[in-house]
Every structure is written in C-alpha cells, then in structure tokens.
C-alpha cells in the first residue's frame, strides 16, 4: 500500500515535468522553421533581437536587417562618438516597424533623416543626431524595462523616446480571460503560469478557446472587460514609471510618445482587404478608439505626474480622411504612416526641445 502511494506521488510530481519538457521540445521543432520569429531571442532573462540577422518575406516586399549590436537598421558604434546626440526609440512592433518594407522607412530612421535636414547647423556646431531603433515586436512595458536595463543603456543614449501600451492591453485581452478578477491571487497565479509554462499556456488556450465558442465570448465583450479593470492600467503605469526612473538615474532624458491614431480613427475604402487579414477587424474598428483614448490618458497622467515631455503626433494625421494607405492593419502604420509619426516627433523636437549644446563660435 505504501509502495503504491509512493508511486502515485512520484507520478504526480514527474508528469507535469514530462509534459512541460515535451511541450517545449515540440514548440522548438515548430518554431525552428518559422523564419520571422527567429529574429527574436531570449537570453539572460530578457528578450532581444538576434545580431546580424536578415529577413525577407516570401509573400510580400517586407525585408529588414538586424545590425551586429542587435538593433534594426544600419551599423552603429557601441561606444557613442563625442560628436553624436544619440536618441533611442524604445517600443514594440510599431517602433520596430512591422510591415515596413525596409529599414529606411521605420519612424526612427525617418526621424533621424528629418532632424538632420531641419536642425540649425550653427546651433549644433559639429554635432550630429543618431536615432537607434530599439523596438522589438510583442514587447510590453515590463519587458521594455528589462531590455532597457540589460541592453539599451550600454549605448549611453542622451534621450529615450518611450512608446508602449498596445501590447500591454492586448496581453490582458488574450491572456486574461474573464473568470477571476484581475486583482485576485488566482488570476495572478494564472498569469504567472501562462507566462512561464509552455504546457500550461497551450492547454489554457485550448480551454479558453472552447469556452469562447460555447459562451459566445465576443471580442468586444472581452475588450471592454479589460478596459474596465484597474489591473491593466496600474500595471502599465507602474512599468512606464520605472522606465522613467531608470532613465533619470542614468542621466538619460526620458520622453513619452503619445499613442498615434489607428486605422480605427479613419474611414476605410477597402474594408474587405483588412477583414481578410483579420476576421475581427470590424469589431476592432469599433473598440480601438476607446482603447486608444485609455492608453493616451495613462500616458498623459504619467507625463503630468512625473513632469516629463509628451509628444503628440495626432495633428500630423489631421488631413487624413481614408486610412488605407497609412496603415497595414488596425494599428501598425505603413511607411506612409511612419512618415507622419516621424514628422510629428521631429516637429516637436525643433519647436520645444532644449538641446543644451555649445554654440559654434564665429571665426
């Protein structure tokens, strides 16, 4: 009897370990052939991009390259030259430029181009501006915080432009199925297991997917549930504030980028094209203006509370009537949309920012 109990106990202990190991192996086999995601790697507890990686889509014109330091774009020096003003754009897939046809049409690359064209050469003396693309698809504010500390600060940036929010909201939308309140211990345990266990997260996706079918759990209902909960707002705010603190403690100027408009804020000529890519496009078009408003409120509150600059590029989209050519999907700008974002940031720097640089002496 005692032997049977011991065997049963051993089975209970070992079975989850075998299931987890098997799930991780199957995931490895599956993702090994997935070209796009091999650019994103996790090492030493944080996510980063694989250095010297090149990607070219077989189905579209999208292509990009990761430089030797692990950032999208051309090669840069790890040690900042004395005559460089280094700006880092920190964010997720919008900052990375998902869907942008090449490295030169991300908003960070365009921002560098616009600033170089417009800055007062006399004021800047022998200085030049360099903008580094520190965007990684899928990263939330908590991951950006770790990425900043472990990787980005080694570049000794002068300025960090912080842009986040959509991945944070989407995480609670997709992972936070409405069974328990977001602040409950059970919900937090659920989130922890989802984040760290491949087997649990896959099993949970199957269960919640089945529940969604039998209960008619629509996208709009889940979306509004997330917006009504405080845990999403509190978590995002806490992580952004920590990013600001890390910047300041390292003598880096933090600047917040207010979330730009989305395709949901404009009319769409060819809705069928977007519906074909995203079955819940119409529901997102109804919900996303309210999500955007919430994200903007969070950033405005943080900027006011922490007395840091906030860049709003919304007015640069003021003349847009139909959003088709400005976005590749509901939130990601196309290269045309990136031009508006970059121009809005550039205009703000030229109008409001104090560079505190030595003025070139007359000869």
Which residues have CB under 8 Å from 102's CB, separation 6+?
63, 64
Strand ranges of the sheet holding 253-257, from the earlier edge strand across to the other edge: 128-135, 84-91, 159-162, 253-257, 310-311
The tokens of 62 are what? 């999208």
* In the block, residue with structure tokens 């806490």: 238
- Which range has the worst mean pLDDT, 1-5, 33-37, 231-235? 33-37
Give the confidence band of 178 by pLDDT, cuts at 50, 70, 90.
very low
How confident is the model over 101-123, as pLDDT tens digits?
Answer: 789 999 999 999 999 888 776 66
Contact indicator for 133, 72 with CB cutoff of 8 Å: yes
The tokens of 189 are what? 């345990």
Is 80's pLDDT higher than 70? yes
Contact indicator for 168, 140 with CB cutoff of 8 Å: yes
How confident is the model over 11-58, as pLDDT tens digits?
Answer: 676 677 777 677 666 655 554 544 445 677 766 667 889 999 988 776
The tokens of 272 are what? 């069928």
pLDDT of residue 329: 94
pLDDT of residue 165: 96
Domain regions of the chain by residue span: 85-178+217-352
Give the confidence band of 180 by pLDDT, cuts at 50, 70, 90.
very low
Computed on alpha carbons and rounded to an integer, the radius of gyration of the chain in Å comes to 23
Instruction: Return the closest-CA partner of residue 80 out of 162, 152, 163.
Output: 152
CATH code at 85-178+217-352: 3.40.50.1110
Average pLDDT of the residues in 123-146? 89
How confident is the model over 256-298, as pLDDT tens digits?
Answer: 999 999 999 999 999 999 998 888 888 899 999 999 999 999 9
Alpha-carbon gap, residue 361 to 122, rounded angstroms: 9
Q: What percent of the chain has pLDDT over 90?
A: 52
The top-scoring range by mean pLDDT among 51-55, 184-188, 319-323 is 319-323
Which residues have CB under 8 Å from 114's CB, separation 6+?
342, 343, 346
Contact indicator for 71, 81 with CB cutoff of 8 Å: no
Is 179's pLDDT higher than 50? no
Q: What percent of the chain has pLDDT over 70?
A: 76
Please state the pTM of the whole predicted model. 0.80
The tokens of 230 are what? 């405080």
- Which range has the worst mean pLDDT, 9-13, 207-211, 345-349? 207-211
Give the confidence band of 355 by pLDDT, cuts at 50, 70, 90.
confident
pLDDT of residue 177: 44
- Which range has the worst mean pLDDT, 58-67, 88-97, 180-189? 180-189
């Amino acid at each position: 009897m005692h032997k049977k109990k011991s065997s049963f106990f051993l089975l209970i202990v070992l079975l989850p370990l075998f299931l987890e190991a098997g799930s991780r192996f199957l995931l490895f086999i599956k993702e090994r052939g997935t070209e796009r995601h091999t650019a994103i790697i996790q090492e030493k507890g944080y996510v980063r991009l694989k250095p010297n990686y090149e990607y070219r889509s077989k189905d579209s014109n999208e292509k990009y390259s990761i430089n030797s330091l692990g950032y999208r774009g051309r090669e840069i020096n790890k040690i900042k030259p004395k005559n460089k003003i280094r700006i880092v754009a920190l964010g997720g897939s919008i900052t990375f430029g998902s869907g942008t046809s090449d490295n030169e049409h991300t908003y960070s690359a365009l921002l560098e181009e616009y600033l170089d064209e417009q800055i007062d050469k006399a004021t800047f003396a022998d200085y030049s501006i360099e903008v580094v693309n520190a965007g990684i698809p899928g990263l939330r504010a908590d991951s950006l915080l770790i990425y900043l500390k472990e990787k980005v600060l080694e570049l000794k940036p002068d300025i960090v432009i912080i842009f986040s929010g959509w991945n944070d909201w989407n995480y609670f939308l997709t992972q936070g199925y409405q069974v328990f309140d977001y602040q409950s211990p059970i919900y937090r345990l659920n989130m922890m297991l989802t984040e760290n266990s491949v087997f649990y997260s896959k099993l949970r996706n199957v269960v919640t997917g089945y529940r969604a079918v039998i209960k008619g759990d629509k996208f709009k209902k889940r979306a509004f549930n997330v917006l009504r909960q405080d845990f999403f707002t509190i978590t995002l705010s806490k992580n952004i504030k920590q990013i600001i603190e890390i910047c300041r403690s390292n003598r880096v100027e933090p600047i917040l980028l207010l979330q730009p408009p989305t395709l949901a804020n404009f009319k769409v000529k060819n809705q069928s094209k977007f519906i074909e890519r995203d079955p819940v496009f119409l529901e997102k078009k109804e919900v996303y203006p309210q999500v955007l408003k919430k994200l903007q409120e969070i950033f405005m509150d943080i900027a006011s509370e922490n007395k840091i600059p906030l860049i709003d590029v919304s007015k640069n989209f003021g003349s847009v009537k139909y959003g088709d050519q400005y976005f590749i999907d509901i939130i990601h700008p196309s290269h045309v949309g990136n031009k508006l974002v970059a121009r809005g940031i550039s205009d703000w720097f030229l109008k409001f920012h104090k560079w505190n640089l030595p003025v070139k002496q007359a000869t």
